[in-house]
């Protein structure tokens, strides 16, 4: 089934809006940027070819679920999981504070996988806790708790225990 022009436009719009977050999410699962790029590319090629997007009630959540499933399948096929190297770029911040970016990447790498996935989905994927819960097959409260725990760990890692308690600037960033 070939998608019509409207479907192709919608698929392109989803890719432009969520492509970087989908890539980041796939990289968080696969641990490898190249494999993550392959996963995202395969999902969008399949959407263009099959037109499966029409059946989805929440298209953003559907695309994230597809990427997650494809990434997990990729891991099963290859029977290995390569850790994402801290030196690999996860994202391009608007202002290039290289030291802060490196510290944040290191801090993200120290988070447990389940917390890192929730942070990536919520912050870069712009998914709600309800959408994350559905995607990861957990409750909304669990998703929110993982996010809170992850933020606390990131704050502590980035600012230190005593510094964050005294400084509002780090807590607001």
pLDDT in single tens digits along all 173 residues of the chain: 455 565 788 888 899 999 999 999 999 988 889 999 999 999 999 888 887 777 778 889 999 999 999 999 888 877 555 555 665 555 555 566 777 778 888 888 889 999 999 999 998 899 999 999 999 999 999 999 999 999 999 888 887 654 444 444 444 44
- What is residue 172's predicted lDDT score, i.e. its pLDDT? 44
The number of folded domains in the chain is 2
Within-domain flag for 157: yes
* Domain range for 34: 1-85
Within-domain flag for 170: no
Within-domain flag for 171: no
- What is residue 140's predicted lDDT score, i.e. its pLDDT? 94
Summarised one tens digit per residue, pLDDT across range 60-74 is 999 999 999 999 988
In a shared domain, residues 77 and 1 = yes
In a shared domain, residues 52 and 101 = no
Within-domain flag for 126: yes
Burial class (CB in 10 A: 0-12, 13-18, 19+), 115: buried
In a shared domain, residues 108 and 81 = no
- What is residue 171's predicted lDDT score, i.e. its pLDDT? 42
**Structure-token pair, residue 61:** 């959540």
**Structure-token pair, residue 8:** 């192709």
In a shared domain, residues 135 and 157 = yes
In a shared domain, residues 102 and 37 = no
- What is residue 1's predicted lDDT score, i.e. its pLDDT? 46
Which of the listed residues 52, 85, 118 is the one where a domain comes to its end?
85
Which of the listed residues 85, 113, 128 is the one where a domain comes to its end?
85
CATH number, domain containing residue 153: 1.10.10.10
The secondary element (H helix, E strand) that includes residue 33 is: helix 33-50
């Amino acid at each position: 089934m070939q998608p019509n022009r409207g479907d192709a436009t919608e698929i392109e719009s989803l890719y432009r809006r969520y492509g970087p977050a989908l890539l980041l999410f796939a990289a968080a699962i696969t641990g490898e940027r190249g494999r993550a790029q392959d996963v995202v590319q395969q999902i969008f090629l399949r959407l263009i070819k099959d037109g499966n997007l029409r059946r989805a009630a929440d298209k953003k959540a559907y695309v994230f679920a597809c990427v997650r499933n494809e990434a997990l399948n990729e891991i099963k096929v290859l029977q290995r999981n390569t850790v994402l190297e801290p030196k690999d770029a996860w994202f391009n911040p608007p202002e290039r504070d290289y030291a802060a970016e490196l510290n944040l990447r290191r801090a993200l790498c120290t988070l447990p996988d389940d917390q890192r996935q929730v942070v990536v989905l919520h912050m870069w994927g712009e998914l709600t806790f309800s959408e994350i819960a559905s995607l990861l097959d957990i409750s909304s409260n669990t998703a929110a708790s993982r996010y809170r725990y992850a933020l606390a760990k990131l704050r502590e890692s980035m600012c230190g225990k005593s510094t964050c308690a005294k400084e509002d600037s780090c807590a607001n960033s």
